[in-house]
Amino acid sequence: MTLTQSRAADTYGVLTEPTTLKIQRLLPGPLERVWSYLTDGELRRKWLAAGQMEQQAGAAFELVWRNDELTTPPGQRPDGFGPEHRMQCRVIECTP
């Protein structure tokens, strides 16, 4: 089943174009803490994916999902999913 076929697709994100997934979340706390959880790879890995990120428009970065760390205790990975997934990304805009 693909994201577009899922009954709960909008729970996770909205496919705005064939290759663009928009994820919108309300993150509680002061702006400084939220910003650090978006930009610091070790903090971001607690709720999304790890990876170092240069805080500059145009900078390339990599998101790293460690599938066995997504739940506590670790859950069972779906068939075909390895222990880690990486995605190449680029910072479009960076305004704290």
Q: What is the pLDDT of residues 38-79, one digit of tens each?
A: 999 999 988 889 999 999 999 999 999 887 777 777 777 777
Q: Is residue 22 part of a domain?
A: no
pLDDT at 75: 72
Name the residue with tokens 């305004």: 95
What are the backbone dihedrals phi and psi of residue 50, each rounded to the nearest 5 degrees, phi first? -80, 180
Q: Is residue 50 part of a domain?
A: yes
| Full-model pTM | 0.66
With cut-offs at 50, 70 and 90, classify the pLDDT of residue 1. Answer: very low
Q: Is residue 39 part of a domain?
A: yes
pLDDT reading at 24 higher than 60: yes
Strands 60-66 and 84-90: what pairing? Answer: antiparallel
- CA-based torsion, 16, 92, 71, 37: positive or negative: negative
> How many domains does the structure of the chain reveal?
1
Q: Is residue 3 part of a domain?
A: no
Range of the domain at 48: 28-90
